[in-house]
Structure 1
Amino acid sequence: MNEPDPAPEQLPVSQPVSVDELLEKVRSGLDRIGPRDAFDAAAKGALLVDIRYAELRERDGLIPGALVVERNELEWRLDPQGSHRAPEATGHGLRTVVICNEGYASSLAAASLRQLGLYRATDLIGGFQAWRAAGLPVDAP
């Protein structure tokens, strides 16, 4: 008699939470940084990753030197072991600062990168809008 195959390993299922509760939880595990600190981090070799969708990038411009990765491709492009990784995804210890438009989706994205082992991933408080408001460099659309 054949034994049934064991169930595939699954991620734990958690109790339902609101997105606000989830955001608070993931942010408690991130060392989020402001625009000036992100600018300084990039100057020291951190990778800035812009996950805003094309319409926002075309409307507002780009942060010079930031890697543009659509949110739905982020994990595949930043996984240092992945077959579809970006050349900039050099290792799990790479300081990575995820940037969305206002600093919400980037927190969830950074937490996802942490689950892949990118233990220095974080996000920009206030997102691209805070970067621009701080007077930091932006390439015109």
Structure 2
Amino acid sequence: MAALYVFLLAQPVYIATAKLVPTGDDNSISNIQGLASQFGFALPLQSGSSIAFADIYPEIVKSRKLTGILLDRKFNTRKYGQNQTLLAILARQNRLEKYGTDERFKRASKILQDDINVSKARLTSIITLDVGAFEP
């Protein structure tokens, strides 16, 4: 029965994976604070503080600011047509049209954040970014 569901009913999910390796001086406090501030984060770190880029990167990637930028971006899909914002695509895919503009945006942002997985290898600073979608 489960095999029948998988082959006949389940929608395919495509996953794009990227591996990131922070380099050199990218871990300096001023660089991390500058990057974080571009996405609406205020990091109250002292110059003697120690924080790795790999530790703050997941928060930046899943931030409301970055997901907001992505939701306004336009994409071409076979299912929903050409030149559609990601917000419009997610709204149609998840039946969010019934909500007002602000609520639709908030729900689409949450869906997008759930479709993004950021992980850091335990013994290295390698970051893996996985993003799921209904089309390649």
Length-normalised TM-score, structure 2: 0.24
Length-normalised TM-score, structure 1: 0.23
Q: Which has the higher contact order (CA 8 A, sep 6+)?
A: 2
Q: Which has the higher strand share?
A: 2
